Amino acid sequence: MRQFAALFNRPELSGWDILDILIVSFLIYEALKLIRGTRAMQMAIGSVFVIGLLYLSQAFPLPTVGWLIRNLLAYAVFAVIVVFQSDIRRGLSHFGRAPFFRYLGRSERAAESIEEVVTATALLAKDRVGAIIVFEREIGLRNYVESGIPIDAAVSYDLLTTIFQPTTPLHDGAVIISEERIAAAACFLPLTVTPHLDRDLGTRHRAAIGLSEESDAIAVVVSEERGEVSLARHGRIVRSLSNDALRRQLQALLLHRRRPRDEPATAELGA
């Protein structure tokens, strides 16, 4: 009865207590999400049962049960590490992808994404394979992402070149990169209605310009007919970019957030 009465005789909660409870609740929630549907879930249920037996042995005269459980718990930690080492790695990797940690390593991943895209466009241009790759910036592109096929994969030139092969179902459309990951492929983009464009600009180029008119996204286009690489932003398109020029412009726009200084003279106005 004294323990039951002590539950109602608690000191007032401070702000730190509430924060402490929220952090623990969040950790428990994330842990349950990780183990849901895995063998760790059965282990968690069994652990709750064992802990319940331990409290039961302390509340009632069950010394043998308490002695057995206390001795088993001494080796339980090592057993959990050995049996669930793969699940532990997956859990730590999941926490490493939290928004806070993603923000810390964003510049490094953005630089890697740029290199992968430059390599992919070089290979696609060499083989005369058409492609359009979009980098999402401050203005979200969720409507266009939902129009395509969700992928949510790391940016790699192997995946990009595979997507745009004419024999694959996803080649017709745009790839959208959001938060340094390929969000979706085969996305439909709005076409520009600007009349003052060269007639040799195809649907991909007009779609890239149209998207750049409606958002601050950056679109990289590979021409299927000419094998040239172009970059569209703010309703303008820069054509015939070399690998180095494309890399410098993407780095200036995505990493340094500034206007590229070495924009080629072949820039085509989109308005």
Select the more confidently predicted residue: 102 or 32.
32
Q: 189 and 86, same structural domain?
A: no
Q: Is residue 204 located within the same domain as residue 129?
A: yes
Residues 133 and 248 in one domain: yes
Rounded to whole angstroms, the Cα distance separating 36 from 32 reads 6
On whether both 18 and 115 belong to a single domain, the answer is no
User: pLDDT grade, residue 109 (50/70/90)?
Assistant: confident
Please state the domain count of the chain.
2
Domain residues for the domain of 53 are 2-96
Residues 264, 140 within the same domain: yes
225 in the same domain as 135: yes
Q: What is the mean pLDDT of the chain?
A: 80
pLDDT over threshold 50, residue 268: no
With beta carbons less than 8 A apart as the criterion, state whether 119 and 144 touch: no
Determine the average pLDDT of the residues in 8-28. Answer: 78
Last residue of a domain, one of 96, 118, 148: 96
Mean pLDDT confidence for 211-234: 93
- Asked if pLDDT for residue 271 goes beyond 50, the answer is no
Give the integer Cα–Cα distance in Å for 34 and 29: 9
CA distance 1 to 46: 29
Are residues 196 and 87 located together in one domain of the fold?
Answer: no
0.75 cut: is pTM over it?
A: no
Q: Which of 81-85, 106-110, 115-119, 140-144 has the highest mean pLDDT?
A: 115-119
